[in-house]
Structure 1
Amino acid sequence: MQFFLGMTGHELKTPVTTLKGTFQLLQRKEQRLLATRPHLDPKMRSFLETLSEHLAHAVRQVDIQTRFINDLLDLARIQANTLKVEVQRCDLSSLVKTTVEDLRLAVPERMLQLILPEQITVTVLADSDRLRQVLTNYVTNALRYSSPSLPVVIGLTLQKNLARVWMRDQGPGLTPEAQRDIWQRYHQVKSTRIQSSDVGKGLGLGLYICQTLIAQHHGEVGVESTPGEGSTFWFTLPMISDAGSV
């Protein structure tokens, strides 16, 4: 099964990457044309501005499909016991900040609020790319099920020797049973309506992969939720001192 998932993922990744590159090339050419032709016919300018919106939407949809493919590849690696993390010292506060800034650019119509400790370096041993994957999945999940008119809040708090990253939404919330089951592979909360089409429905693999990645960082994941009152997803990582000890 893992061979099939891995082969399928790799076969799909190349054409999807090519498609995104084509859309981005068209975006650059369209933006250059608008910038260098200030006296375009109003109808042509309107057409190009509409085209720009459609191209931006197309790129977001390609990104969704890319996440699906990457999830399948990661699932294959987990099943084959080959999913590895390459850790090094990094500032978790800076990593959270830059990831949220990138997400703001990707979904400019959504409100992402950030709460970080002021002027504090939070040093952890981590695979930066994999942590960005976890952060992106958490935030995307919150955007998927919360109203576009309400903010998603991302924060970082310190608890003794642990750093705790959390995302709070004002979505429908989860029952105790759903809170337990949501970390399982392929699990989806079928009774919950998706609020944002721009982030896609998902395959039910994201949180399962997040749990696996955080476990490899010697951390924990969890969720706190009340039906009708939203959810707060979190993960913890051990902090290290300047001397390098945990």
Structure 2
Amino acid sequence: MYNKSVYQQNWQAKEVCLRPEQFPQCQRLYTFLRRPWVGYIACILLTILNVLLVLAEQHMAINIILPGGQLVIQIALVAYLWGFLPALLMLCLGLIVIDAFFISDLSSLFAAHSLDVTLQFITFAGFALLIAALFAQREKALRLAAQREKTICEAHQQLENYLSVISHELKTPLTGTQGHIQLAKRKLKNLPALLDEEHPDRQIIQRVYRSLEQAQKQTMIQHRLINDLLDASRIHTNRVSYTMKICNLTEIVQDTVQSARLTNPQRCIKLEVDIQEKAIIRADADRIGQVLNNYLSNALKYAPLEKPIHVSLYREGESACVAVQDEGPGLNEEEQKNIWERFYRAKDIMPVAQDGVSHVNLGLGLYICKAIIRDHQGQLGVTSQPGAGSTFWFSLPLDLNKG
């Protein structure tokens, strides 16, 4: 099995939530150090450090740092780490140190000074208090944002788990239903030949057989939708794995197109292969076939019944390109950007009616295609204009050593 490449992991880094629970030891230490009483102890230790620095400055005749600037930095740090009350304590202790060593001696602590000095003292204290309040408020907002983000991540994870579980639960009975339909079709297929042309049950059996065919098509659609849910959930939670091997892209394209022709015999699907040699790639053949099948399904779903679907395989530099062109309603520029997103569905574009089979669109097919192609170090895109059809394409790097 081939796990996701580093390239793809980096591509999906924005979609994966990094939770603190992934680093329990660091999380416990961080929680312990952020307790308020640790902040009060830190204030006392910082005050002792300030006193030592002032004494060193006085005895060694050196200018270490301005006391006001040092105190403002300490208040901001304490407010950011421990909140407003520890920062208020740091302010009070700092003012005591400033008053004791820079304004007067210890015996005149907070004594009345000249008006200018008093105003400067009050202004500095108010400024430091404002900084403490702002940093404390900012830290509170950051904690609330982190808590909301954690809640959102947990909700997303629960949703992905729910989708995975419900998809598995739906898939089990659906598989049994498909088996019973196939068994009933086999038993009814040859039964009309045993009856006379005028036998009254002959037409009833034929109608039942056609009903079973319609039911089988509906179950196939449901099976595809469930598989899309499972794939989308695995992609979103970074749990996709691939069976990578050397394979021939030409054969993958030919087999997929032939399968689409058998499933839709009333439609015209043209294939043009413009590669002389083998298109050798290293890929998961089933997944690449899934991408092309999704392109074909969309083209068959939205293009007029009488219009052909063109599939082309050609080489472009060191890559092999596959394109599916239709003459459907087309897409505007905004839709061309958004169709690759999960659960996005283009507005005002209705599928064509085919044999009474309904077409349910969850908006997951192209999202899955995008993930598969990028996991294979390839590229993909669409060229379209409203009313002029669309061309969906993807390219994969050729294995030139095997070609």
Aligned residue in 1 for 2:83: none
Distance, in Å, in 2 between the alignment partners of 1:118 and 1:124 is 13
Q: Which moved more, 1:11-20 or 1:199-208?
A: 199-208
Of 155, 160, 181, the residue aligned with 1:23 is 181
Alignment check: 8 A CA contact 1:143 1:196 kept: no
CA offsets 1:145-186 (integer angstroms, 9 cap, x no match): 111111111111111211111111100111011111110111
Query: Any runs of at least 4 consecutive aligned residues in structure 1 with deviations exceeding 4 A, and if so which?
Result: none
How many angstroms does 1:84 deviate by?
1.6
**2: CA distance between counterparts of 1:47 and 1:10?**
36
Paired residue secondary structure (2:190) = helix
SS in 2 for 1:174: coil
State yes or no: 1:74 paired with 2:257: no
Q: Is the 8 A contact 1:181 1:187 kept in 2?
A: yes
The alignment partner of 1:63 has SS state of: helix
Task: Judge conservation of contact 1:194–1:201 (CA < 8 Å) in 2.
Answer: no
Pick which of 175-184 and 78-87 moved more: 78-87
Separation (CA, whole Å) in 2 of partners of 1:38 and 1:102: 33
State the superposition RMSD in angstroms.
1.7
- What is the deviation of 1:119? 5.6
Task: Note closer, same or farther for the CA distance 1:232–1:38 as it changes in structure 2 (3 Å cut).
Answer: same
Deviation at 1:2, TM superposition (A): 1.2
Supply the distance in 1 between the matched residues of 2:212 and 2:270 (Cα, whole angstroms): 27
Q: 2:326 aligns with which of 169, 189, 204?
A: 169
Task: Answer with 102-111 or 195-204: which moved more.
Answer: 195-204
Q: Shift of the alpha carbon at 1:199?
A: 6.5
Deviation of 1:40 after TM superposition, in Å, equals 5.0
- Separation in 2, partners of 1:34, 1:96: 38
Cα shift at 1:80: 1.4
For residues 50-129 of structure 1, the aligned pairs below 5 Å read 50-117=207-274, 120-129=277-286
Picking from 198, 218, 223, the partner of 2:377 is: 218
2:389 counterpart residue number: 230
Q: Which moved more, 1:189-198 or 1:232-241?
A: 189-198
Look up the match of 1:9: 167
Q: Which amino acid aligns with 1:170?
A: E
Task: Give the TM-score, by structure 1 length.
Answer: 0.93
Q: For residue 293 of structure 2, what is the amino acid of its counterpart?
A: T
Alpha-carbon shift at residue 47 of structure 1 (Å)? 2.4
Higher helix share: 2
Q: Which runs of 5+ in 1 are unaligned?
A: none
AA at the equivalent of 2:218: Q
Percent identity, aligned pairs only? 39
1:138 equivalent in structure 2? 295
Q: How far does the alpha carbon of each residue in 1:74-96 deviate from its partner, in whole angstroms, 9 at most, with x for none?
A: 11111210112221111111111
Relative to structure 1, is the Cα distance of residues 208 and 48 closer, same or farther in structure 2, using a 3 angstrom cutoff?
Answer: same
CA contact (8 A) 1:60 1:106 kept: no
Q: Which moved more, 1:78-87 or 1:43-52?
A: 43-52
Equivalent residues of 1:89, 1:125 under 8 A apart:
yes
* 1:239 equivalent in alignment to 2:398: yes
Equivalent residues, number = 243
- Opposite residue 220 of structure 1, the aligned amino acid is Q
1:145, 1:196 within 8 Å by CA — same for their partners in 2?
no
Q: Which moved more, 1:26-35 or 1:219-228?
A: 26-35
Q: Normalising by structure 2, what TM-score?
A: 0.58
Comparing 13-22 with 43-52, greater Cα deviation is found at 43-52
The question of whether the paired residues in 2 share the 8 Å contact of 1:6 and 1:76 is answered with yes
Which residue number in structure 2 is paired with residue 179 of structure 1? Answer: 336
Larger-gyration structure (1/2): 2
Instruction: List gaps (5 residues or longer) in structure 2.
Output: 1-158
